[in-house]
Chains A and B, each alone.
Chain A
Amino acid sequence: MAVLFLALAIFICLGSVKMGIGKLNEPGSGLMPFGGGILLGILSLADLLIRNVSRIKGDEIGFKGVRWSRLLLIMITLFAFTLLLPILGYLITTFLVMLFLYKCIEPQKWWVALSCALLSTILTYLLFGVALKTFFPEGIFSLQ
């Protein structure tokens, strides 16, 4: 991660210079981001040095034992919700996504998955769509 932050720091510094740092008595838009970028760079370098040169054991949980397939499925499902919502509308998209989460990530019996998906879709629609008057896309079936 420290390498990524170092790259971000360089990007921020370059972007800030482009924006204009200004003078100290007339600070430009890029002054604070430039300072932030420099600080981020120094700290990322320090983190890299501590971990690689002095070989002090990090305090990270690490990625050992992570069930990547489940994580990936959830991430894809979340993005799928964003893509499907304008096409299928709220009710159908939510029902399908919830059914998938209940049935495929931590598999439940069909009746549990179906009833949980149906209930959560209806209740959230009543709360957000009806009570809080959130406008949801209707989708191709004009169903909300």
Chain B
Amino acid sequence: MEFLGNIVYGFQVAGQPINLLYCFIGVLIGTLVGVLPGIGPAGAISLLLPVTFHIPPVSAIIMLAGIYYGSMYGGSTTSILVNIPGEATSVITCLDGYQMARQGRAGPALGIAAFGSFIAGTLSVIGLMFLVHPLANVALRFGPPEFFALMCLGLILVTYLTRGSMIKALIMAVFGIILSFVGMDIFTAQQRFTFGIPQLMDGVGLIPLVMGLFGISEVLINIGSSAPQEILKTKIQNLFPNFKDWKQSIMPIFRGTGLGFFLGILPGAGAITSPLMSYAIEKKLSKSPEKFGTGAIEGVAGPEAANNAASGGAFIPLLSLGIPPNMMMALLLGALMIHGIFPGPFFIKKYPELFWGTVVSMYIGNGMLLILNLPLIPLWVRVLKIPYRILFPLILLFCLIGVYSVNNSLFDVALMIFFGILAYFLRRSGFELAPLVLAFVLGPIMERTFRQSLVISGGSFSIFIQRPIAAASLLIAFTLLCFSLIRYIKRK
């Protein structure tokens, strides 16, 4: 009964006109950035972080969450029509989605992607509601060593799952942690690496950092080498898949949902790996695997469901433990921290309005996305045609004003430009930015829990081995590092 009461309460919060409006804005922007290959959800959330200062925290988080799961929907449109994934999560959709479009079946491909995403999104929200509470109760027994070890594991997993060199990913993670040390020490109030600049006493701001990393650097990368893209000239009709399409797709959708949801909970790249795994599973289970890659609808339905379910699952460790499992969740954690809210085991009890409001808004948002994605597909196709040369000055302007509007500080603007240029060179040199952002957000919590652990144990590192959860987490992290080393030696 309490559970039902909470859901009703969630509907009361999310159903307020202002929250409905922000939910709509979030999913609309999410779909838009999912469609536009030039800017991703991380960039969009970074651009909108300053705006969240001016609105209540519930509305802000509802909007930012909407951008995240909305982009998962939008990414499939470009994969199917242009053969260019709008997001990394939609890469695998290109294989069969684009082939379906070439065969004149763009409508059913887009339709099943939207319906599959809706079913997966809805089921993952239900799963989220059921799992967060028990996990938060378990987390109540965690002390500083457990939190420190879990965060170490999360960071190692993220670096382990990066596409490029793991050493480079680890460099980025350590660099992110070091950046988080800039400013006043939380224990001794001593200034660290501030170089006498008063604006750095509060540390490097999250907003200048992420806007530089994702907004400015994205423009620099794109403008440095712009490749023209061709949109498939196909008539989009029959968006509602027929009975045969549904029969072939329904089980892949359910399997993709389960897989995506549980992979999304794990730290790392759940939303990216789950579509790939879903595709592999469907191909393995199929009676005619040779059809995969030539326009099999199962190859669109399963992966699209998986990436949407993963986005719901990713909220679980953030809201119950306060540990973001991926970069997008790290940005959301940053947005919560801007409002003085720290997720963790007490989050649901302390901020029921925020938790239930956000969760229920995700359910409502999934409905909005279905409405946005089906009738508005011709509009998204037109949006795809907006040339990048018109868009990039606008992205730059939003970065400049957005970061300025937070503190009315030109220093923040200069800092953002510096990080943008740095990120450009880092990306060109093969460094990924996700571990940097995750580590930057986790850095202060990691330092606090590490130093608390040492104080509790009287300076002995054995505290991390004596506690089972901490020991297990560190052991898994160490094993992953060993695996990576073995993989490297074998490759050599």
Contact = CB atoms under 8 A, between A and B. Distances in A.
B225 A29 contact: no
A43 B170 contact: yes
Given A5-B171, A101-B396, A74 B192 contact: no
Given A23-B459, A81-B413, A134-B408, A40 B430 contact: no
Interface string B373-399: 000000000000000111011101110
A113 B430 CA distance: 35
B492 A56 contact: yes
B454 A27 contact: yes
B397 A98 contact: yes
18 contacts: A1-B426, A1-B429, A2-B171, A5-B171, A25-B457, A31-B451, A36-B177, A36-B178, A47-B165, A50-B165, A56-B492, A62-B428, A78-B396, A78-B417, A81-B400, A85-B410, A105-B393, A134-B404
B136 to A, nearest CB: 28
Contact of A66 (B174, B187, B224): B224
A62 B223 CA distance: 15
Q: Is the interface of B mostly helix, strand, loop or mixed?
A: helix
Contacts of B450: 32
Interface in A1-38: 1-2, 5, 8, 12, 15, 19-20, 23-33, 36-37
Contacts of B168: 47, 59
Contacts of B54: 132-133
Interface string B295-330: 000000000000000000000000000000000000
B280 interface: no
Contacts of A12: 178, 193
Contacts of A136: 404
A111 interface: no
Interface string A126-142: 00100011111000000
B223 A105 contact: yes
Contacts of B170: 43
Q: Is the interface of A mostly helix, strand, loop or mixed?
A: helix
Nearest to A86: B410
B454 A24 contact: yes
Contacts of B427: 61
Contacts, number: 166
Interface residues of B, number: 66
Nearest to A71: B224
B122 to A, nearest CB: 33
Interface size range on A against B: 35 or more
Given A39-B174, A65-B225, A124-B397, A19 B459 contact: no
Question: Nearest 8 pairs between A and B by C-beta?
Answer: A25-B459, A24-B459, A60-B430, A106-B389, A101-B393, A134-B405, A29-B185, A59-B164
A50 B450 CA distance: 31
B174 A116 contact: no
A31 B454 CA distance: 11
Interface in A88-129: 94, 97-98, 101-102, 105-106, 108, 116, 120, 124, 128
B475 interface: no
A31 B392 CA distance: 43
Contacts of A63: 428
Contacts of A75: 220, 417, 421
A143 interface: no
A58 B223 contact: no
Most buried by A among B54, B178, B398: B178
A124 B188 contact: no
A19 B396 contact: no
Given A58-B430, A98-B393, A134-B408, A70 B223 contact: yes
Given A81-B400, A86-B410, A135-B408, 17 more contacts: A28-B188, A36-B177, A46-B167, A47-B171, A58-B165, A59-B168, A61-B430, A67-B223, A74-B220, A74-B396, A81-B413, A82-B414, A97-B397, A102-B393, A106-B389, A124-B397, A134-B404
B72 interface: no
A52 interface: no
B181 interface: yes
